[in-house]
Amino acid sequence: MTGRGSSKIFGVRVNVPLLLTVSVLPDIDLILRFLHHRGQTHSLVTFAVFLIPLLLYYGKGVLPYFAALLSHSLIGDFFTGGVELFWPISNGWYGINVSVTSMANVSAELILFAMTLALMFKTGDFHQFTQSDNHNYILIIALGAVVGPMFQLGRGCEQALPSLLVAPSLFYVAIFVYSLYLEAWTRLNRHAVLHRKS
């Protein structure tokens, strides 16, 4: 929502699958076990290091993606345990310690899910998931970010998915899988057509 809203403010178009993928990139630290969760990959300094060259090259077109990236640390993780916002300048953790599984957090997640869904339908952005020319292979990253916590369901760890969020997660899994399937099917058909012509 932050990325889409900022795209309106800056008057730029966005690729919604890419926007969703960028918004989960800080959680790459869950895969890279040598990093601690919500540390280096959630830092505003790290974001700036990557943003400045992209901003110089692409201009204001990267700002909505940066807004989506910022929302991960400043909205999502800030409230559910905190983040190392200024690493490597400071190793201090900033945030409010609301449990990921608390009713307050789960309710906020469900409300944001409903708002995001309504916004995507209202703006027509949902249509981008049904198009095969948007390079939707990038959604494999977003799919991993959604499926990963589902494997931790009921284990009581920080990365575990609260049971009330299973339905929204399954919705995203279905959309991402459909989009990836459509992209693969279209590419296979194009390849088959080119093969027949040659």
**CA neighbor of 135 nearest in space, from 24, 28, 26, 15:** 15
What pLDDT sits at residue 135?
77
E strand residue ranges, the chain: none
pTM summary value: 0.84
pLDDT tens string, the chain, 198 residues long: the values are 899 989 999 999 999 999 999 999 998 887 787 888 889 999 999 999 999 999 999 999 999 999 999 999 998 888 888 899 999 999 999 998 888 778 888 898 899 999 999 988 998 888 888 887 667 889 999 998 888 877 765 555 666 678 888 899 999 999 999 999 998 888 888 777 777 776
With left for phi above 0 and alpha for psi between -120 and 50, is residue 152 left, alpha or beta?
alpha
Phi, psi torsion values for 40, nearest 5 degrees: -55, -40
C-alpha to C-alpha distance for 72 and 81, rounded to whole angstroms? 13
CA angle 176, 136, 24 (to 5 degrees): 65
Alpha helices in 11-90 (DSSP H): 16-24, 44-58, 63-71, 78-79
Token pair in block for residue 136:
């939707």
Does residue 43 sit in helix, strand or coil?
coil
C-alpha to C-alpha distance for 180 and 192, rounded to whole angstroms? 18
Token pair in block for residue 185:
């099917």
